[in-house]
């Protein structure tokens, strides 16, 4: 876990870009013979316009808008846990794919660490300081120097103190970003910066695939969530209905049959179930990493009818106003609950290779309904029941 200490620090210091080179110096004689010094006044002729220095205001505004969208997408990814918005802004040309995939892999590591360790950006403000914009009209490229900073309320801070969470601040992350115009749109070609994670990755030589494969979260010593969805046997039988409803709400662009969901009960009020749900696609986002899956992890309310059927699912709206939505939807005691992310994601990984296995919350219901677990195993004797049985016992 030492590798990820950087993610919970309150600030970063400016660091020299890895591509920066020292400015060469020219030796100047300590004295010049006065006898040979003849002052001459020269009126230089104006130079012709240069495509690398002539920058139109409209182009600057357009480029700043692209960069603002890029940083908005980066920060939103630490709230939604997905990289879709960032990929759209990056070039698809083969000559830059290696560097951009390296950046996506690094962001995937950050996202998974944030997800497992309750460090979601619940509320955030982004501050950009543009230092320079240079456009080369011949090559249709632009080089932008910009630094970013932020004010962030992390999920763990909101759980420890929902009414007055700590605001973490970061400043001075220097970026040199190159864009290229492709099919009339400016696309990111490279983003050169040197934050703590990039320093660690470069010094250790560890691949992002290896980190994504082995990364684990910590168990927080506060208000754990319960493990049973309900004590009513009729509800346990409807787990597939629950899973489908969560899948369609949390990952609406994916086919439900390509999504698996786990959830833990946080509380109940009349016909409403408060849960923490984790839904993930069965297949990985191979372009980024074979160990990175499109995932949604979020508190949700299952609104039930009098017959126990799900009427609809409500979740907070993603974005910088996420925290306000959590406060609106969930009682204070629910906001303090901490789900066991490691257990849910571990069981999701198991179910990818054993798709007939129910969610962990259903298997663990034997704590309240002793026959439910044994009856499920008995009905699956032809499906490697010894493996299932031992794995369930290990997890519970």
Domain architecture of the chain: domains with CATH: 51-214 (3.10.450.50), 233-395 (no CATH)
* Residue 236, pLDDT score: 66
Backbone dihedral angles phi then psi of residue 156, each to the nearest 5 degrees: -65, -35
pLDDT at 285: 92
Cα distances (Å, whole numbers) of residue 250 to 203, 221, 294, 296: 37, 28, 11, 6
Q: Which residue has the higher pLDDT, 265 or 14?
A: 265
pLDDT score of 223 more than 80: no
What pLDDT is stored for residue 370 in this prediction? 36
Question: For residue 12, what pLDDT is reported?
Answer: 42
What share of the chain has pLDDT > 90, as a percent? Answer: 55
Nearest to 222 by CA among 116, 310, 337: 337
Residues 6+ apart with CB under 8 A from 264: 225, 226, 227, 275, 276, 339, 340, 344, 361
The strand pairing partners of 187, in sequence order, are: 180
The beta strands (E) that lie in the chain are given as: 121-136, 141-154, 168-182, 185-192, 259-269, 272-281, 295-304, 310-314
Contact 215, 105 (CB under 8 A): no
Task: Label residue 219 by pLDDT band (50, 70, 90).
Answer: low
**Residues 6 or more apart from 41 whose CB is under 8 A from it?**
none
Give me the phi and psi of 128, to 5 degrees please: -115, 135
- 252-262 as b/e, with b when 16 or more CB fall inside 10 Å? eebebeebbbb
| pLDDT above 80 for 18 | no
Mean pLDDT value across residues 357-382: 58
pLDDT higher than threshold 50 for residue 42: no
pLDDT of 188 higher than 50: yes
Percentage above 70 pLDDT, the chain: 73
DSSP, collapsed to helix, strand or coil, labels residue 343 as helix
């Amino acid at each position: 876990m030492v590798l990820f200490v950087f993610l919970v620090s309150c600030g970063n210091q400016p660091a020299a870009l890895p591509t920066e080179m020292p400015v060469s110096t020219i030796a100047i004689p300590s004295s010049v013979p006065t006898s040979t010094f003849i002052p001459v006044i020269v009126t230089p002729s104006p130079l012709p316009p240069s495509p690398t220095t002539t920058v139109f205001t409209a182009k600057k505004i357009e480029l700043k808008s692209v960069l603002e969208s890029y940083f908005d997408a980066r920060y939103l990814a630490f709230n939604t846990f997905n990289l879709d918005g960032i990929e759209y802004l990056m070039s698809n040309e083969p000559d830059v794919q290696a560097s951009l995939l390296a950046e996506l892999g690094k962001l995937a590591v950050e996202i998974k660490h944030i997800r497992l360790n309750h460090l979601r950006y619940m509320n955030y403000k982004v501050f950009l300081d543009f230092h320079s914009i240079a456009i080369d009209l011949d090559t249709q490229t632009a080089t932008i120097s910009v630094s970013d900073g932020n004010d962030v309320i992390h999920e763990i801070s909101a759980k420890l103190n929902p009414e007055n969470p700590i605001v973490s601040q970061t400043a001075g992350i220097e970026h040199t970003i190159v864009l290229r115009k492709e099919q009339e749109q400016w696309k990111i070609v490279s983003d050169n910066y040197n934050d703590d994670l990039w320093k660690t990755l470069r010094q250790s030589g560890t691949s992002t695939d290896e980190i994504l494969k082995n990364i684990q979260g910590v168990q927080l010593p506060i208000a754990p969530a319960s493990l049973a969805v309900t004590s009513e046997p009729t509800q346990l039988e409807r787990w597939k209905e629950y899973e489908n409803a969560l899948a369609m709400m949390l990952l609406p662009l994916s086919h439900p049959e390509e999504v698996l969901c786990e959830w833990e009960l946080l509380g109940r009020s009349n016909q409403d179930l408060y849960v923490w749900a984790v839904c993930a696609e069965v297949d990985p986002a191979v372009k980024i990493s074979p160990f990175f899956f499109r995932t949604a992890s979020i508190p949700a309310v299952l609104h039930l009818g009098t017959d126990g059927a799900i009427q609809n699912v409500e979740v907070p709206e993603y974005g910088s106003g996420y925290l306000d939505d959590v406060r609106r939807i969930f009682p204070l005691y629910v906001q303090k609950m901490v789900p066991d992310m490691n257990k849910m994601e571990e069981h999701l990984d198991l179910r990818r290779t054993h798709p007939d296995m129910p969610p962990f919350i259903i298997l663990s219901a034997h704590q309240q309904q002793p026959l439910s677990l044994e009856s499920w195993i008995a009905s699956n004797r032809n499906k490697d029941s010894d493996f299932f049985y031992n794995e369930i016992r290990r997890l519970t």
